[in-house]
Amino acid sequence: MDRNQELFERARRVIPGGVNSPVRAFRAVGGTPRFVQRAQGAYFWDATGKRHIDYIGSWGPMILGHGHPAVVEAVQRAVTEGFSFGAPTEREIELAEAIVQAMPGLEMVRLVSSGTEAAMSAIRLARGATGRNRIIKFEGCYHGHADALLVKAGSGLATFGHPTSAGVPAEVVQHTLVLEYNNVQQLEQAFEQHGRDIAGLMIEPIAGNMNFVRADTAFMRRCRELCTEHGAMLVFDEVMTGFRVGLGGAQAHYASRIPGFRPDLTVLGKVIGGGMPLAAFGGPRATMEQLAPLGPVYQAGTLSGNPVATACGLATLREVSRSGFYESLAAKTRSLMDGLAGAARSAGVPFSADCEGGMFGFFLLPELPRNYSQVMKTESARFNKLFHGLLDRGVYIAPALYEAGFVSAAHSEQDIAETVAAAKEVFAAL
């Protein structure tokens, strides 16, 4: 029994499943989770001291890599000033200003502590601002574990094959409509039947919880048109894509293709906290001023805008705002995808991949899927062999078929070459 297994056995005695978030448990791929001892740059070392090239990066936040000097310095300085105050700080304003400046669709933001909290609050705000109850979400999209949104979700629930969660009353989700991603006809029918009752449509513009599936431009255009026509709010869940696929998030990519495009509300997390618990939701001033203490929609949080977390997030945003940052990051990510595709092709393994900025996904399928049901056609047993083959060779990808991956600025050409070489060996054995 190695040290990872010892720790897992110990954890299972006091933590459900031995983990504090389900996908970490390796239930989908089998085997023992790697307990991280430390991380630096593009790598982490597990409890046995083995080094791994990390393509999870805390599920997206570590866009600069682990332990970036400027971020570490900012956090250390903030810690000496105090951990938490329960009162406003100037750094909260600075972070909010940085977010608003980068994303034209946002005039105001409210800082919170997690993506789940931000998504839940955005839905409450959409309902409060419109006076309506119905919400549209899409199968395979995951917006955190708030009850109203935990219906046919992706991420860990997809991994374990559960379409919803126990403990969620039917009454709570009766106003949630679940549609097929990228299905324009179904979208139009939903608005035709329920348009006057729909408060908002929440969507991952690039879904990262059924691996990596992007919304077609025509589909996104129709989402915007129908929300505008029926007075519903288009809510972009950019917890994963915000500041990860580009400085302006995924919405900037759609704005470049759809004239005048903007979501009504945006949910952010991960990168804006730099690896610490921090998230946000925002939108136009008139909508955001519906929140307490100005308006009737209540939302609060003791640790919201935590001074150490805001220091970490602000330092991260300063680094990613530097000229050429995203161009370099995107080139690395594309190089990795091209290398993996070539390795799979040489071995005769079906393979398709897509990426944007520092976010990527690949499928053991000949063509990229467009929705959750197509994603489910991937052969999980083959993926599991790929996962463990890479893991044995010191390459750490998501321990689940339904999760996107992430490249950081710290990944080098040598890291990518080492990854592709490992994949070539594994593909040859599949």
- CA gap 177, 190 in Å, rounded: 8
Please identify which of the residues 43, 55, 142, 254 carries the catalytic annotation. 142
Distance of CA 207 to the CA centre of its chain: 8
- CA gap 352, 376 in Å, rounded: 14
Answer whether 333's CB lies under 8 Å from 413's CB.
Answer: no
Q: Tokens standing for 392?
A: 């044995």
Please identify which of the residues 270, 372, 402, 415 carries the catalytic annotation. 270
Q: Let me know if 237 is a catalytic residue.
A: yes
Q: Which amino acid is at 163?
A: P
Cα–Cα distances (Å) from 354 to 9, 93, 122, 246, 382, in that order, read 37, 36, 29, 15, 19
Q: Let me know if 142 is a catalytic residue.
A: yes
Please identify which of the residues 237, 264, 354, 415 carries the catalytic annotation. 237
Q: The dihedral of CA 125, 129, 134, 135: what is its sign?
A: negative
Q: Let me know if 50 is a catalytic residue.
A: no
Cα–Cα distances (Å) from 351 to 63, 411, 420, in that order, read 26, 23, 14
Q: Tokens standing for 116?
A: 């789940």
CB-based contacts of 184, cutoff 8 Å, min separation 6: 218, 219, 222
Cα–Cα distances (Å) from 50 to 43, 68, 373, 394, 396, in that order, read 10, 21, 37, 8, 11
Distance of CA 100 to the CA centre of its chain: 20
Count of beta carbons in the 10 Å neighbourhood of residue 3: 14
Of the CA atoms within 13 Å of residue 165, those in its CB half-sphere come to 19
Q: The dihedral of CA 191, 297, 309, 34: what is its sign?
A: negative
Rg of the chain on CA atoms, in Å: 21
Q: Which amino acid is at 24?
A: R
- CA gap 421, 9 in Å, rounded: 33
Starting at the earlier edge strand, list the strands of the sheet with 359-363: 352-356, 359-363, 405-406
Which residues form the catalytic set? 142, 237, 270
